[in-house]
Chain A
Amino acid sequence: MKLVIQDVINAVSLGSLYALIALGVALLFSIMRLANFAHGEIIAVSAFAMLALSGLPVPVWILGTLAAGVLVALLMERIAFRPVRGKDMTTMLITAFAVSFAVKDLLLFSQGALPKPVRLPGFFSGTVEVAGLQIAANSLVSLAASAVLLTGLVVFFQKTDLGVQMRAAADDFGMARLLGVRANLLIAAAFAISGLLAAVAAILLVSQSGSVEPYMGFAPVIVGFVACVIGGMGSLKGAAVGGMLLGCLTVLLQATLPDGLAPYRDAFLYSLVIAILVVRPQGLFASPAVVEDA
């Protein structure tokens, strides 16, 4: 019984982490049709910022890591993505691809290829007693952080002017501009939020693995992208659901795969995903603005 509770918490915790990553990708895709392959590198850079700040008091390194994510995202927008804004999706995807590799290369160059351990503050380790059960502190922190962030996002998109304008832009960017929505500001804000989400994901990822390395962004960005595809490209709700689904499936596979096959967890996960896509290639909540041709 105890084992199952921990598994459920792990599932929801991982699912919400994946949802955060997916949302960071989906936000930019829904507004600008940009599939930001470099999102993984925002995560990686944030993680290395976390490494650099790890000796400092907790609020400082948290804020510093978040700031790093936002800053990197804004820089990417200004330097690489603004010149290709408005071009077709493929061009933008390749641009993201180029940015991703360039940043990875910079990380490799400055940090070397080997993983570096990160010293985490105490509240990430050990177990916490909840209702008579011992739950891993890590999962709870992850869950709490994701819940706060996801709630914040919902409030942002439903209640604030900027959030409503962003949803309008995702629906019809041209029309939003005709109504006075400032394109540059909106896009910068979207990148900033995406960067924030990436930085939080970085913190949670590092808290699980305990180390950072330059290629660490690749697997998470694949998760984010695949979650968006399952949820339906262009749908924020779909991305969150897709991420949650992937997280739960991952934990389920981890728990049910026999020991010999456990390392192949990700292979099984994506094979399952591809199987799902056979049945419903357009994803769960296909956005009306992007008509598929399959």
Chain B
Amino acid sequence: MSDDLFDRADEFMSLFRRGAEFTKELVDENARLRRRLVEVESRQDEAAQDPGEWSKLRQELLERIRGLEGERTDVLERMRSLEEENLQFATRFVEVEEENNNLANLYVASYQLHSTLNVAEVVKIIIEIVINLVGAQTFAVYVHDEKTGLLEAVASEGEDVAVFPSMLLGEGTLGLAVASGATSSNGEASSRDYSRPIVAIPLRVNDRPIGGIAIFELLVQKDGLSPLDHELFTLLAGHAATAIFAAQLHSQSERKLSTIQGFIDLLTK
């Protein structure tokens, strides 16, 4: 992906270089025309001595002026269209740069989430992403307990995990978000009511609720949520859920394998 970023940047730099080369050509052409004008002025001075020559030269000069005016109009038109094109490229370059930055954030978040099969490590990575990439000050990560049906806070930042209330699916802001599968964001800057987060992100794998993330406060330097934040929420909703689910399955299979191995050892002794 790093190479792709370089390639795209190189492509745009090449376009800019072509624009610069064209501008240099125009400057050279301008210098050539100036030299030509000096030559004509010199001829004009010499011809001024003879009236017949003067009339011929005048005609020539008028034609030349008409030609030069036409060329000048063409050049100005080409310059204008080139400047417009350059401006479009510059705007597009900024957009692509921003898009690249966003893609890098999403790639890193996704890469890290799937880098382990340990539930505690997955939860730690979710916390890192919410702090470092989203910029949240106070939040909690909830996991759904299939036996009790409760969403329970298992990790938090900014406050002790014990202060975040458990809830049933469909209950409270986070419970509703997890039940419906839709991220909710109320547009407020912070909330001290730990049953009413400013952002509630459901973590689900297909129709299976896995847990949720409740954000209560953003970092002091963060003005609000950006389009990238919403993309990160979408990514977390899918990838964090899958990562937790995969880690839970892995942990269960390890336990079962260990039990079966114990039985086999018992039977074969």
Indicate whether A and B interact. no
